């Protein structure tokens, strides 16, 4: 909660690519083709990844975001320790001093630094614990989605024809699913839990990755070096995972960083609707949901979980932007100094 | 808290009652019922803004969230619908608008000329035949205007169990009570839901227990004595219906644009989910109606606004009254602190929420089937904390018994007193150990996932934890809550839930055991759709229930209901938490705002508006 990337304050690189799109993400050439131009010979032996890292490091917004995310991860891991030190567990109900007689939350004070919620629970501790759920769901569901998306996209793009048609229609189907209706139906059948949340989010995210990967694979498989590999006797599996996959890493990494904040908001949406993690576990989404009845009389109640959600998604988005700029070969400054 | 429509809370009531063998006898003595008697709200009971001379005219603007459930009296079951039905329908008997809680829960004649008693030959000596005389001057707004007759009353009753989805919401109040009603309905159920088929069935079949002796005399014959029969006749379901209604399918869109009124107002415009407008019914005269004054000229209902925006509009004076919402609980303390005269707080007569034990649950080796375990847990709950969730002591009074104030048999007592009603975890723990569970229990708490329900479940969870009992919250949607869990004995037997926190608003107040203790605790007819959700079944309670329903007079019944209440609490079938008050807000131009328990709103026929406003 302490680091604030203040997006307005960070100067935008002048030549930043304006928007995310599938084509702009791709490394159109294999890494070998990204050779330094003549005259840059004094820059020795830097791989494109090193160059990308150098670029990201110069991007202040991305670095502040990264710092924020690392700090958040640290806070989230140490939440139990911090809660012990603050003196409240996330489920402790301070009914005598954390609530008014009429059941209204009590504002920030020495006793509760960020105030209390509708059951007299400490908002600071709950926001800290909430970050565990947000990060866990954000990261795990994104990894699942990316793994599935890459696999399906790769197979569809590489084999083409009937396989491509079937898998592409499946992706279209998933993309056309009404997310919330599906989530409500699933939760009604299986009951709400962390695992269901992760599954639902992953299920609705993989198809977008799959489409991008498929498109890239379609173009990569026509490259000469793929032909070369094939003439050397490499089988499909080897070509897919050894020759094609590494060339997909850049767009996949960029998409992953941008998918995490979407997954975090998905989770918050599910929790907000009471379909996410089971109470009393705090999540930013269910805290916001609880605060609905009180926003007019207790500003701190929606503010802090809302701010945590806002800053976290902003940080991931800015970091994702930075990573994309760094990995996109069309952003020429990769090679300028 | 948005008011839960009556229908959702008592969703299963009708189904349950159809199967109940009603052992009611005796007669309605017309004695006053004990009313709500809560000190916290007595100052507000007088807050009706009756100062000044009542004036006629103006447009009363109601604003709220949802639509009526039905406009047809046969099926209208929401409290908001009742608010409007007060204006465009009349019944044989009704409850008068009064700030005196005793009066407001006691039946008075409406279309009837008098309350039938054995003394005036309205009730036969065996208590089974009721003869009701209708006043000749009540008119439908047909053209030309036509008198409301005994035949119309018979038709109203015959339409109740029509074979459309818009049949009566609570058939049990009629089927087990009126002679021939069950057979008539069984036959009706087989009729195809078309206008000619319904008309043919109604014209060709009679309910043996309901007879129009002449144009102004209707006679009811009961299967068994029922000392609350007049209360049943006072429900809007029991309204008469004009013969023109046979030209429509009950409550379809066409019906809704052709309602016929015998009340002081008539619906002149209805747009589903948007607005309703009522104008004066030219056929109505004050002389014909002892229960309504009808001061305003027009009533409008605007729908689609949540309680927050509703509150803002009322405070700004751009609307006059709430339609189906209440004041947001978080806003009540500020309004109360400034002593805003537009705020009114009234006992709702509900018991909400309360905790039900699933006595069939196999979990913890069937621990919840043991009285001693349930008795221990009675001491666990901090009822003040539950009250805080619903707005604190202004809006909540801790309840120690099964019968809430406003219902016959209510007496102030607490079967399991704890200091300040805040719970006694130590006592709970020691009693639980004595009952054989020194290591506590693990319970599944079935909780709806919206509104205040998650907070209630978490509050209970913290209380039970202090007693060594772990609860796991099982969040479900409102729709699944009854449909997939509470209404299904299979879910209870499988241990899908151990405890849960529903609420209950009786269908009427006063002499209402049939709408209160009986549906909640009579375990003899436990089955699908039963509202005895935990399968409490006590021979001692059942005997008291039967005696109360067969009691010769209300005073005897009152004491028996109280004993039945004590039995329920002794067996610890539920943990009562609170009885709640409704926080109502109105614009400053609203005068004579008399809260009606039945519709949980001000009586629109009694309100008058500041002249020139």
In sequence order, which ranges of B159-285 are alpha helices (DSSP H)? Answer: 172-175, 181-188, 195-204, 229-233, 253-256
d(CA B350, CA B328): 18
> Is there a single domain that holds both residue B571 and residue B595?
no
Determine if residue B468 is left, alpha or beta; phi over 0 gives left, psi from -120 to 50 gives alpha, anything else beta.
left
Joined tokens for residue A301: 């109640």
Reported ipTM: 0.77
Asked if residue B35 has pLDDT above 50, the reply is: no
My answer on whether B113 and B242 are in the same domain is yes
Residue in A269, A293, A295 to test binding to B, most B beta-carbons within 10 Å: A293
Average pLDDT over residues B358-373: 95
pLDDT tens across B261-299, in order? Answer: 999 999 999 999 999 999 999 999 999 999 999 999 999
Choice between B172 and A314, residue whose per-residue pLDDT is larger: A314
At A42 the pLDDT is 59
Both B267 and B388 in one domain: the answer is: no
Per-residue pLDDT averaged across B434-444, rounded?
95
Q: Are residues B497 and B602 in the same domain?
A: no
Residues B568 and B601 both lie in one domain: no
Q: Which residues lie across from B60 on neighbouring strands?
A: B299
Is it true that the peptide bond before A280 is cis, omega within 30 degrees of 0?
yes
Q: Which domain holds residue B516?
A: 354-576
The two tokens of residue B449 are 């996932």
**Residue at B508 is within a domain:** yes
Q: Which of A51-65, B122-136, B152-166 has the lowest mean pLDDT?
A: A51-65
Query: B335 lies in a domain?
Result: no
Helix/strand/coil for B597: coil
Do B455 and B482 meet the contact criterion of CB atoms below 8 Å apart?
Answer: no
Residues in chain A where the model's pLDDT stays below 70: 1-44, 329-337
Predicted pLDDT at B432: 96
Whether B560 maps to a domain, the answer reads yes
Tens digits of per-residue pLDDT, B402-412? 999 989 999 99
| B593, pLDDT greater than 50 | yes
Instruction: Check if the beta carbon of residue A9 is closer than 8 Å to that of residue A309.
Output: no
Integer angstrom CA distances of residue A66 from A71, A321, A327, B60, B484: 8, 12, 16, 59, 46
- Provide the Cα torsion B426, B428, B431, B436; round to 10°: -110
Name the 3-class secondary structure at B11. Answer: coil
pLDDT of residue B230: 94
User: In this structure, what token pair is assigned to residue A20?
Assistant: 């995310």
Cα separation, A166 vs A150, whole angstroms: 16
pLDDT of residue B165: 87
Query: Do B508 and B530 fall into the same domain?
Result: yes
The per-residue pLDDT for A322 is 87
Interchain proximity A293–B330, CB inside 8 Å: yes
Residue A31 in tokens: 């890494």
Pick the CATH number of A46-335 from 3.20.20.370, 1.10.1740.10, 3.20.20.390, 1.10.3720.10: 1.10.3720.10
- The CATH number of whichever domain residue B399 belongs to comes to 3.10.105.10
Helix axes A300-327, A284-291, angle to 10 degrees: 140
**Phi and psi at residue B196, to the nearest 5°:** -65, -40
Q: What is the residue whose two structure tokens read 């919206």?
A: B450
Residues B287 and B386 placed together within one structural domain of the fold:
no
Interface test with B, best of A96, A98, A102 (most B CBs within 10 A): A102
Instruction: Name the residue with tokens 């030219």.
Output: B282
Instruction: Return the percent helix, strand and coil in chain A, to nearest 5.
Output: 65, 0, 30
Residue A31 contacts B where some CB pair is shorter than 8 Å: no
pLDDT tens column, B529-577? 888 999 999 999 999 998 998 888 888 999 999 999 999 999 999 999 9
Residue B396: its H or E element: strand B396-398
Give phi and psi for B127, each to the nearest 5.
75, 10
Name which of B392, B455, B476 is nearest A101 (Cβ-Cβ): B392
pLDDT > 70: percent of chain B: 92
Torsion angles phi and psi, residue B132, rounded to 5: -120, 130
Q: Would you tell me how many other CB atoms lie within 10 Å of the CB of residue B323?
A: 25
Residue B485 DSSP class:
I
* pLDDT at site A327: 80
**Is residue B467 a contact partner of residue B432, using CB atoms and an 8 Å limit?**
yes
Q: What is the pTM of this model?
A: 0.82
Chain A residues 95-124 within an 8 A CB cutoff of chain B: 95, 99-104, 118-119
> Residue B158 is encoded by which pair of tokens?
């015959």
Higher local confidence (pLDDT), B17 or B100: B100
Rounded Cα gap, residues B394 and A236, in angstroms = 74
Answer whether B393 sits within 8 Å of A297, measured CB to CB. Answer: no
Kindly state whether residue B203 falls inside one of the protein's structural domains.
Answer: yes
Say what the pLDDT of residue A40 is: 52
H-run or E-run covering A38:
none
- pLDDT, residue B37, reads 37
What is the C-alpha separation between A266 and A72, in angstroms, rounded?
A: 19
Tokens of A255: 């998409």
* Token reading at A206: 């993989």
Domain spans, chain A:
46-335
Residue B513 belongs to some domain of the structure:
yes
> CA B506 to CA B406: how far, in whole Å?
10
Chain B residue numbers with beta carbons less than 8 Å from the beta carbon of A119 are 389, 455, 458-459, 462
Query: Which residues on adjacent β-strands are paired with residue B576?
Result: B354
Picking from A276, A273, A275, the residue whose alpha carbon sits closest to that of residue A292 is A273
A324 Cα to chain B: minimum distance (Å): 40
In a domain, B478, yes or no: yes
Residues B52 and B198 in one domain: yes
Average pLDDT, chain B: 89
Same domain for B542 and B597?
Answer: no
- Does the pLDDT of residue B94 top 50, yes or no? yes
Cis omega (within 30 of 0) for bond into A130: no
At A39 the pLDDT is: 52
Looking at chain A from residue 154 to 213, which residues have their Cβ under 8 Å from any Cβ of chain B? Answer: 184, 188, 191-192
* Bond from prior residue into A308 cis (ω within 30 degrees of 0): no
Q: Look-up: residue for tokens 């940080």?
A: A315
Q: What is the pLDDT of residue B19?
A: 30
DSSP B293-351: ----SEEEEE-S--HHHHHHHHHHTS--EESS----GGGHHHHHHTT-TTEEEEE---B
- For residues B602 and B565, membership in a common domain is answered with no
Strand partners, B472: B444
DSSP tag of A299: T
Residue B19 lies in a domain: no
- Is residue B313 in some structural domain? no
What pLDDT does residue A145 have? 95
Place of tokens 């009579």: B522
Cα B96 to the center of its chain, rounded Å: 16
- pLDDT at position A15 is 43
Q: Rounded to an integer, what distance in angstroms lies between the CA atom of residue B574 and that of residue B501?
A: 9
Q: What is the mean pLDDT of residues B83-96?
A: 96
- B38: phi then psi, degrees, rounded to nearest 5: -110, 120
Least confident of A96-100, A126-130, B440-444, B479-483: B479-483
Contact list in B for residue A277 (CB cut-off 8 A) is none
pLDDT band, residue B38 (cuts 50/70/90): very low
Domain count, chain B: 2
Both B293 and B433 in a single domain? Answer: no
Which element (helix H / strand E) includes A143? helix A123-159
- DSSP SS3 for B189: coil
Chain A residue numbers touching B457 (CB-CB < 8 A): 279
């Amino acid at each position: 909660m302490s680091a604030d990337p203040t997006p307005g304050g960070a100067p935008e690189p002048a030549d930043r690519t304006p928007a995310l799109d599938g084509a702009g993400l791709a490394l159109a050439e294999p890494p070998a083709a990204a050779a330094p131009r003549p005259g840059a010979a004094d820059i020795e032996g830097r791989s494109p990844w090193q160059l990308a890292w150098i670029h990201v490091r110069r991007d202040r917004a991305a670095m502040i975001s990264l710092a924020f995310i690392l700090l958040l991860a640290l806070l989230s891991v140490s939440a139990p320790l911090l809660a012990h030190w603050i003196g409240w567990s996330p489920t402790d109900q301070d009914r005598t001093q954390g609530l008014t007689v009429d059941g209204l939350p009590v504002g920030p004070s020495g006793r509760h630094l960020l105030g209390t919620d509708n059951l007299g629970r400490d908002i600071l501790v709950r926001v800290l614990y909430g970050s565990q759920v947000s990060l866990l769901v954000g990261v795990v569901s994104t990894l699942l989605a990316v793994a599935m998306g890459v696999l399906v996209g790769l197979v569809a793009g590489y084999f083409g024809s009937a396989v491509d048609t079937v898998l592409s229609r499946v992706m279209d189907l998933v993309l056309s699913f009404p997310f919330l209706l599906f989530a409500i139906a699933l939760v009604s059948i299986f009951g709400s839990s962390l695992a269901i949340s992760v599954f639902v989010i992953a299920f609705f995210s993989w198809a977008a990755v799959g489409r991008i990967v498929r498109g890239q694979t379609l173009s990569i498989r026509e490259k000469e070096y793929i032909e070369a590999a094939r003439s050397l006797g490499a089988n499909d599996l080897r070509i897919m995972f050894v020759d094609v996959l590494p060339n997909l890493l850049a767009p996949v990494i960029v998409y992953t960083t941008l998918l995490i904040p979407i997954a975090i908001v998905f989770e918050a949406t599910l929790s907000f609707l009471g379909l996410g993690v089971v109470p009393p576990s705090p999540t930013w989404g269910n805290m916001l949901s609880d605060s609905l009845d009180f926003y007019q009389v207790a500003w701190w109640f929606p503010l802090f979980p809302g701010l945590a959600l806002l800053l976290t998604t902003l940080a991931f988005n800015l970091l994702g932007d930075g990573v994309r700029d760094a990995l996109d070969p069309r952003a020429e400054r990769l090679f300028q100094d | 808290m948005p008011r839960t429509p009556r229908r959702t809370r008592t969703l299963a009531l009708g189904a349950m009652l159809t199967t109940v063998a009603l052992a009611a006898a005796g007669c309605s003595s017309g004695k006053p019922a004990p009313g709500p008697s809560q000190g916290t709200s007595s100052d507000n009971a007088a807050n009706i803004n009756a100062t000044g001379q009542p004036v006629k005219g103006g447009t009363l603007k109601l604003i709220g969230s949802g639509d009526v459930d039905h406009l047809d009296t046969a099926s209208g079951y929401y409290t908001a619908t009742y608010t409007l039905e007060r204006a465009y329908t009349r019944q044989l008997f009704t409850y008068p608008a009064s700030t005196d809680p005793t009066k407001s829960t006691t039946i008075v004649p409406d279309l009837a000329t008098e309350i039938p008693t054995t003394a005036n030959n309205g009730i036969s000596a065996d208590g089974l035949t009721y003869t009701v005389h209708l006043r000749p001057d009540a008119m439908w707004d047909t053209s030309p205007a036509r008198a409301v007759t005994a035949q119309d009353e018979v038709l109203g009753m015959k339409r109740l169990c029509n074979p459309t989805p818009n049949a009566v919401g609570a058939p049990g109040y009629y089927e087990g009570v009126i002679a021939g009603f069950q057979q008539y309905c069984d036959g009706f159920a087989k009729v195809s839901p078309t206008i000619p088929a319904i008309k043919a069935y109604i014209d060709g079949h009679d309910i043996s227990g309901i007879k129009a002796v002449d144009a102004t005399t209707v006679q009811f014959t009961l299967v068994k004595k029922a000392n609350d029969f007049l209360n049943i006749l006072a429900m809007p379901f029991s309204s008469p219906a004009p013969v023109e209604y046979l030209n429509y399918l009950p409550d379809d869109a066409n019906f809704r644009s052709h309602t016929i009124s015998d009340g002081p107002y008539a619906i002149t415009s209805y747009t589903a989910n948007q607005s309703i407008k009522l104008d004066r019914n030219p056929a109505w005269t004050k002389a014909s109606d002892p229960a309504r004054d009808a001061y305003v000229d027009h009533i409008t209902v605007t729908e689609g606004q949540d309680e927050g925006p509703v509150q803002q509009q009322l405070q700004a004076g751009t609307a006059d009254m709430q339609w189906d919402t209440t004041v947001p609980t978080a806003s009540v303390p500020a309004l109360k602190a400034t002593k805003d005269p537009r705020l009114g707080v009234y006992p709702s007569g509900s018991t909400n929420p309360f905790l039900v034990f699933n006595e069939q649950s196999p979990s913890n080796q069937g621990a919840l089937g043991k009285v001693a375990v349930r008795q221990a847990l009675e001491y666990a709950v901090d009822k003040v904390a539950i009250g805080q969730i619903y707005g604190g002591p202004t809006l909540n009074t801790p309840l120690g018994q099964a019968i809430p104030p406003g219902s016959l048999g209510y007496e102030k007592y607490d079967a399991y007193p704890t200091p300040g009603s805040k719970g006694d975890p130590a006592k709970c723990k020691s009693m639980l150990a004595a009952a054989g569970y020194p290591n506590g229990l693990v319970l599944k708490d079935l909780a709806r996932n919206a509104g205040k329900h998650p907070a209630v479940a978490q509050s209970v969870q913290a209380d039970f934890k202090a007693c060594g009992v772990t609860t796991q919250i099982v969040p479900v949607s409102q729709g699944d809550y009854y449909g997939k869990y509470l209404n299904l004995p299979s879910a209870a037997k499988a241990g899908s839930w151990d405890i849960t926190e529903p609420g209950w608003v009786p269908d009427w107040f006063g002499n209402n055991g049939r709408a209160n203790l009986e549906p909640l605790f009579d375990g003899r007819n436990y089955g699908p759709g039963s509202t005895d959700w935990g399968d409490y079944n006590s021979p001692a309670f059942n005997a008291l229930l039967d005696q109360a329903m067969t009691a010769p007079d209300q005073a005897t019944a009152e004491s028996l209901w109280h004993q039945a209440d004590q039995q329920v609490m002794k067996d610890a079938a539920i943990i009562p938490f609170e009885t709640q008050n409704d926080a109502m807000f109105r614009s400053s131009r609203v005068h004579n705002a008399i809260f009606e328990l039945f519709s949980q709103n001000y009586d629109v026929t009694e309100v008058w508006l500041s002249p020139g406003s």
